[in-house]
């Protein structure tokens, strides 16, 4: 047990785990239909995924032809996104705001995007959104090293969009979400090490 775990009383840890479990269940239940539709979209894009197993059986020995008219359009939209890379812009909002401060903050954000290779995260999120209607990336806080409390922001891609879970009360506007979680499967040994 490390120092951080020793400082948190066991009751608080159990409460935290219970709350996290409750939120994950709530998010999964609220989004189960949307997830099923997204999986169906991805299967449709997959070769041969345009025919259900039932339809294939009904056809017997007759061929099940697929005419892919979607992938080309997805590729065009993804290519346009790659050419017109998104980035975060900072603008002073009123007469009280200082344009020089906005420029400095914008420079800091560009540095975070550059060091994080944020373009990869943006591209992955965009292509996933084109394929199944959902995509995203994470903004994480990480410590610079183990000896100081200096922290940096990092923009990270989410490779598995089904690992993201958001507060269902935000009703589609993620800026109003009170919480979010990203789940990940790890081995029992890795869990014990962490």
Dump pLDDT digits (tens) for 5-48.
556 666 677 888 899 989 999 999 998 999 999 998 998 888 76
Residue 104 has pLDDT above 90, yes or no: yes
Mean pLDDT of 99-109: 93
Give burial (CB, 10 Å; 0-12/13-18/19+) of 36.
exposed
How many CA atoms are closer than 13 Å to the CA of 114, on its beta-carbon side?
Answer: 6
What's the distance, CA 113 to chain centroid? Answer: 16
- The total of structural domains in the chain comes to 1
Instruction: Give the pLDDT of residue 191.
Output: 83
At 4, the pLDDT band (50, 70, 90 cuts) reads low
Instruction: Give the pLDDT of residue 173.
Output: 82
Range of the structural domain that residue 115 is part of: 3-60+67-193
Q: Cβ(78)–Cβ(130) under 8 Å? A: yes
**pTM, full prediction:** 0.77
Q: Cβ(94)–Cβ(69) under 8 Å? A: no
In terms of Cα–Cα distance, which of 50, 55, 43 is closest to 67? 50
Q: Cβ(151)–Cβ(143) under 8 Å? A: yes
Mean pLDDT of the chain: 87
Dump pLDDT digits (tens) for 47-98.
767 888 888 899 899 988 888 888 899 999 999 988 988 888 999 888 888 8
At 137, the pLDDT band (50, 70, 90 cuts) reads very high
At 141, the pLDDT band (50, 70, 90 cuts) reads very high
Mean pLDDT of 136-149: 87
Written in H, E and C, the secondary structure of the chain is CCHHHHHCCHHHHHHHHHHHHHHHHHHHHHHHHHHHHHHHHHHHHCCCCCCCHHHHHHHCCCCCCCCCCCHHHHHHHHHHHHHCCCCCCCCCCCCCCCHHHHHHHHHHHHHHHHHHCHHHHHHHHHHHHHHHCCCCEEEEEEECCCCCCCEEEEEEECCCHHHEEECHHHCCCHHHCCCEEECCCCCHHHHHHC
Instruction: Give the pLDDT of residue 7.
Output: 63
Residue 136 has pLDDT above 80, yes or no: yes
User: How many of the other CB atoms lie within 10 Å of CB of 169?
Assistant: 11
Residue length of the chain:
194
β-strands 137-143, 180-182 pairing: unpaired
Residue 106 has pLDDT above 90, yes or no: yes
Please report, in angstroms and rounded to a whole number, the separation of the first and last CA atoms in the chain: 10
């Amino acid at each position: 047990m490390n120092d951080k775990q020793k400082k948190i009383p066991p009751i608080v840890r159990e409460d935290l785990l219970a709350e996290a479990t409750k939120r994950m269940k709530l998010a999964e239940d609220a989004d189960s239909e949307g997830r099923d539709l997204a999986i169906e979209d991805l299967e449709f894009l997959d070769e041969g995924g345009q025919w259900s197993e039932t339809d294939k059986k009904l056809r017997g020995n007759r061929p099940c032809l697929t005419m892919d008219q979607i992938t080309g359009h997805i590729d065009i939209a993804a290519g346009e996104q790659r050419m017109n890379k998104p980035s975060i812009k900072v603008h002073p909002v009123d007469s009280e705001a200082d344009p020089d401060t906005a420029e400095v903050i914008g420079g800091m954000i560009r540095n975070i995007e550059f060091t994080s290779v944020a373009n990869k995260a943006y591209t992955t999120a965009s292509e996933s959104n084109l394929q199944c209607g959902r995509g995203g990336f994470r903004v994480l806080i990480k410590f610079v090293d183990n000896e100081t409390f200096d922290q940096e922001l990092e923009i990270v891609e989410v490779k598995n969009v089904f690992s993201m879970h958001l507060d269902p009360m935000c009703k589609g506007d993620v800026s109003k979400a009170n919480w979010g979680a990203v789940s990940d499967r790890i081995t029992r040994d890795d869990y014990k090490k962490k």
